[in-house]
Structure 1
Amino acid sequence: MALAMIYLGIPEGMLLSLTDKETAKDAWEAIKTLCQGANKVKNARIQTLKSEFKAMTMEEDMIIDDYHMKMNGIVTNFISLGEKVDESYTVKKKFRAMPSKFLQMTSIIDQFEDLDTMTKEEAVGSLKAHEERVKEKIESRQSLLLLTEEEWVKREKAEGKLLLTREEWLKRTNKEGSSNHRYRVGHGDKSNVKCYNCNIYGHFAVEC
């Protein structure tokens, strides 16, 4: 009778491990051993989740919604293992794990808000509002750069090419340098010019 009651009170997967037990005492000892093993696995999993949660940070290119879902997944696993997770702890973790672009905002909230009473929803709402403001500034800056580029194109069409490639610049520089050099060599009073080749006045070394 006791053995039958044990069989009725255990999961089906565990029942197969007890089919060879002849007494209630043997079955109970086997269940105890199995549960101890399960507890070890559970505790090991909890420690792994704690390490993941502690090391978790939001990447620069990650959005708040994705970060929130990732954190919620870890918290859900904690709860499924019977662990209680304090909401204020997760809220503080959200703000501590923010990238540098959120630093000013998180510092202000930490100063003027009570994180012990703030809910997860309020924390996510604040972070998403700041994320939208940052996104708006970036888009505005990109639009300004695009407008400047369009203005340059218009000016180039109206006034000719304003920017030179490196090859064009070198070609023009060498050409102008050669002209100036020929002018200096072929013209002007060179009586005070000393040749560095023969040390005689009146000509340049290239003319020696």
Structure 2
Amino acid sequence: MASENSFVQPSIPRFDGHYDHWSMLMENFLRSKDYWSLVETGIAEPAIETVLTEAQIKTLEDQKLKDLKTKNYLFQAIDRTILETILKKDTSKDIWDSMKKNYKGTARVKRALLQALRKEFEILHMKEGESVNDYIARTLSNANKMRIQGEKLEEVAVVEKIIHSMSRKFYYVVCSIEESNDIDSLSIDALQSSLLVHEQRMTNYVVEEQALKVTTHEGTTFSGRGRGGFRGRGRGRGRHLSYNQGAQFNKERVECYHCHKLGHYQYECPDKEKETKVNFGEIEGEIL
């Protein structure tokens, strides 16, 4: 079992074809090892005729040893097929500069990509049904891509973009946030927290409203034979709505207990009315 004090070494970022993302991760990795200066400036090689002191010789040897370690990290991060395309691999700076030249792209390509990202950022808006977390993550992803391409995008610009592109159901929330906060000093994290609170309240309100509708519907319906909210003559099978609720009820499933047909109650039965008239005529004839 590993001890509690054991430290997990960070993994070396593998190059996957996305240079901007990989270079950011790799730079951070090499800085954590205190090797980035060798990639950025290279080894300070003295002139051939320069006589070095013992301290200078030791410093130069230490730099070369660190450079070898840095090259080792780069070799592990870059696939063999890509390394074979790099002609000069004497130092870590040579490898890094070659990767930057081959995969970062020209200035023209960068400008075209940045222009596309700017357009995407301008038309960005929250979709109906999209959550606050998903939309803010999508906005920040676009903003970070622009920054990688050299765009100087301030946090306040991202905050304003999020506020002014929320869906319609957040309009009153946005107005409240703008009135109660200074947008210039409002952070993205604070904005996200505020929007999440309102989103949770709206979700709870919808759930409670749906539960209330179901409860009300169940309270106005019942199953039985001529008993419950409906009071009237005759008996029938089916579900009835109470007259107290003022609701219309479909009698298509109601069975008459006289003729056993559907669509009416016993007291409304047309066959019963006919039988009553016949019986009355027979009685009247006997009297006469």
**Equivalent of 1:109 in 162, 177, 195:** 177
Map of 1:103-182 to 2, 5 A cutoff? 103-153=171-221, 155-157=222-224, 159=228, 161-162=239-240, 164-165=249-250, 167=252, 171-172=263-264
Partners of 2:194 and 2:144 in 1: CA distance = 22
Unaligned runs of 5+ residues in structure 2 are: 1-87, 229-237, 242-248, 255-261, 275-288
**Structure 1 residue ranges (4+ consecutive) displaced by more than 6 angstroms after TM superposition:** none
Q: CA 1:42–1:145 in 2, change beyond 3 Å: closer, same or farther?
A: same
Partners of 2:156 and 2:96 in 1: CA distance = 37
Q: Does 1:62 align with 2:114?
A: no
Q: Which residue of 2 aligns with 1:97?
A: 165
| Structure with the larger strand share | 2
Which amino acid is 2:127 matched to? E
| Structure with the larger helix share | 1
Which amino acid is 1:76 matched to? N
Over aligned residue pairs, what C-alpha RMSD do you find? 3.7
% identical equivalent positions: 25
Q: Which residue of 2 aligns with 1:11?
A: 97
Greater RCO structure (CA 8 Å; 6+ sep) = 1
Q: Give the paired residue count.
A: 160
Which amino acid is 1:92 matched to? E
Q: Does 1:41 align with 2:101?
A: no
Partners of 1:15 and 1:92 in 2: CA distance = 36
Unaligned runs of 5+ residues in structure 1 are: 17-34, 183-208
The normalised TM-score by structure 2 is 0.46
Partners of 1:13 and 1:64 in 2: CA distance = 38
The normalised TM-score by structure 1 is 0.63
